Amino acid sequence: MLTLVLALSLSSPPVDVDPIVVSGTRRPLPALEVPRSVSVVTSEEVVEAQPDATIDLLEAAPGVFAQRTHRGAGAPILRGLVGPQNLTLVDGIRLTTSTWRTGPNQYVNLVPTLGLERLEVVLGPSGTLLGNGAMGGTISAWSLEPGESPVSGWAAGRFRMADLGGGLAATATGTLGPAGYVAHAVFDQGNGLRLGGGDELPVSLLNTGQWQAKGAFALSDALTLRLALLGALIDEAGRADDLGKGDLRFYDNVDHLAYARLTYEGSMVRSGSATLSYHRMEERVRRFSCAVGSNKVVLDRAACLDREADAVTRESRTEDTVDVLGGTLDAAFDLWDERIRLTAGLETQVEWVGSEQQEAKRGDDGVLGAFADKARGTFSDGSRWIGVGAYSHASVTAWQGEELRAVVSGGLRVSHVTAHAPGVPDLGDVDYDFTGVSGSAGVALLAPGLLDVYLTFDQGFRAPNLQETTALGDTGSRLEVPNPDLEPERSHALELGAKLRFSKVRLTAAWHYTWLDGLITDSPTTYEGAETHGESAKPVSHRVNSEDGHLQGIDLAVEADFWHFTTRYAVSWLTGEITAADGDDVPPRRLPPIFGSAALRYRLNPEAFMELGVDFAGAQDALNPADRKDARICETGPYSGLLQSDCVGTPGWYAVNLLVGWQAAPWVRLDAGLWNLLDTKYRRHGSGHDAAGIDARFTVTGSF
């Protein structure tokens, strides 16, 4: 599988500007010099994109395929892997926890959106530098930094036509003497979402909010102390993809991240940092089960949607919390006139999990009874998960010419994970621990600012999390039961890439091949002696390690400036297979089709632009056996509750977009756009609903 390193995304900067990235090497470098597939979304590009969720930004990055189960969700698929198989960081701190659901989820939308300094995506394993979970790729968000003037900021109001929704956002920032500050808040309200062709997405009302407070204090010329509090909420995110089976859910998430970071900037010791962090994630789920017929299809779809008393047979309320205390020590050294660059660090993360559930059932009188506490929530209350790691990495200029230099690099990380879950049903106390070693090696031929040709080998390591080993619950398509015997999964990736800039053209390309070892996947099992569970007879499954698998792909992208125009094109192709539990070789689950984007931008002057773009994806008929049982892919019709007897997969599609932006005055900016302006009815492969129809968005930003 081939994948590219692009420093382009939504509205790419002029090609003579090379964004600085950190995630690929854990030290600031121009994107062209990073020997990895990496893309960047800057704060300026966020303004032009007018996103209503972080997944909107990610799906515009080359090589990133977005899956959406419901409107509040958004799961990036990086090199064929999804969910906790990809690592998510905010300001270098792990947002990924041991309770993240395997497969698609909504957690990436808790990452800052409008409050971004930049958003970086690294494709491929980064186990050596970034740690446990960085198997398919890494999403790294960097929040706003203080402005240079004493007081500055902006406020924005926005409106969307597809859901008659919108929101407000405001930021104040500045530096006063040795201290800098940032205060940022955004609130957005969405109503019923109109889909392509005119249908409305059920239960698509959605409220979201994000906030930041940050202070930076220069203690000396070399030392800086940063204190930060970041947060996000997703409220009333409705999920109706399994409505045909009488299943309706609503998610509420609240996320808090606080940290203190002391950083050092020097000469030989180029930089160092010590970070202490506290992260709390709360998830509340309300779930309604409605009456179904003998064919296991909901009897009254409309009544179920309205949650009418005579339709609902059961209601449950689940609350899961995770409290995380983390610490990191990092240092970067430059030796021998920067010919040797060393990076090393230590990390630790301790998580405490709380979980409880209440349930009410309809009695013989046809009325829901009182809520009663269940013996256990999704997880065992009081579960604990601990991860520690130590890494080192070196980059050495082995040869230096007048224009070119040859760089070799390599590194090693040791990761250890231990977990404890009390009173797991049918298992008792569950305890496990794993130690994994990840390595990396590479060679690159580099002409700074012009050329980077590289060959790298990187490994990823991920220990099974508490969701996979101890969770018990209905996931929508099946009942998942615990499996304490899971082993870690690993990825080993070889990547050959080139980044080239000449005159007004930037070209990036990469090929990669990934071996998957012990990939965690679903397998049928029994619960209380039965292969199915509940009124709708959902299959029972648990997670197992498959034997092996591989993925390979190609990503290509080009950007060019000519006269007042900028054009860009990106395309990604992915294929592969895994060995299922029964020994058969099958396609990976939710394998993305060929996909990409193209755009032509006309810049009237430095203050105004107009851009016509096309997003596209090919058909996908390479289906995993689990895909054929997934209503999101193989349902006979919207919310029918029935699966196609011979599923053909997801058809190809394209959507046309038009964006305009105008800096009307030094203190006023206007942005507008038409997304899916042909009102195309389409669905991203593996998603739980069709994409939004024609959507006009308007944003007015005032700055001071």
Domains and CATH numbers, the chain: 20-139+158-703 (2.40.170.20)
**Residue 427's closest CA among 471, 459, 467, 493?**
471
Longest dimension (CA), the chain: 87
d(CA 485, CA 334): 44
Q: Is the dihedral of CA 124, 125, 128, 134 positive or negative?
A: positive
**What is the DSSP-derived secondary structure letter of residue 468?**
H
> How confident is the model over 430-451, as a mean pLDDT?
94
Which of the four pLDDT bands, split at 50, 70 and 90, describes residue 481? confident
Q: How many Å separate Cα 347 from the centre of its chain?
A: 22
Per-residue model confidence (pLDDT) at position 459:
97
Minimum mean pLDDT range among 99-103, 144-148, 190-194, 431-435: 99-103
Where b means 16+ CB within 10 Å and e means fewer, 652-661 reads: ebebbbebbb
pLDDT (0 to 100) of residue 17: 56
Beta pairing, strands 269-290 & 29-30: unpaired
Helices and strands (DSSP H and E) totals, the chain: 6, 38
Query: Across the chain, what does the average pLDDT equal?
Result: 92
Residue 536: per-residue pLDDT:
64
Residue 14's pLDDT is 40
Sign of the dihedral through C-alpha 84, 85, 87, 88: negative
Q: Are strands 269-290 and 247-265 parallel, antiparallel or unpaired?
A: antiparallel
Measure Cα distances from 599 to 386, 614, 615 in Å. Answer: 45, 6, 9
User: What is the side-by-side order of every strand in the sheet holding 137-143?
Assistant: 37-42, 116-123, 137-143, 87-90, 93-94
Q: Any residues with CB less than 8 A from the CB of 469 and at least 6 apart, and which?
A: 419, 421, 430, 432, 482, 483, 484, 486, 543
* Torsion angle defined by CA atoms of residues 630, 633, 639 and 640, in that order, rounded to the nearest 10 degrees: -80
Q: Name 417's bridge partners.
A: 387, 434
The alpha carbon torsion through 682, 683, 685, 687 (nearest 10 deg) reads 180
Q: What is the average pLDDT across 334-342?
A: 92
pLDDT tens-digit map of 656-692: 999 999 999 999 999 999 999 999 999 999 999 999 9
Q: What gap in Å lies between CA 108 and CA 115, rounded to an integer?
A: 14
Alpha-carbon span 552 to 574, nearest angstrom:
6
Residue closest to 704 by CA, chosen among 213, 150, 114, 45: 150
| Distance from C-alpha of 158 to C-alpha of 176, rounded to nearest angstrom | 31
In this predicted structure, what is the pLDDT of residue 535? 65
Q: Both tokens of residue 242?
A: 């399994």
Rounded to whole angstroms, how far apart are CA atoms 592 and 573?
Answer: 8
Res 13: pLDDT: 39
What is the spatial distance between Cα 322 and Cα 326, in angstroms, rounded to a whole number?
13
The C-alpha torsion from 362 through 368 and 370 to 374, rounded to 10°, is 50
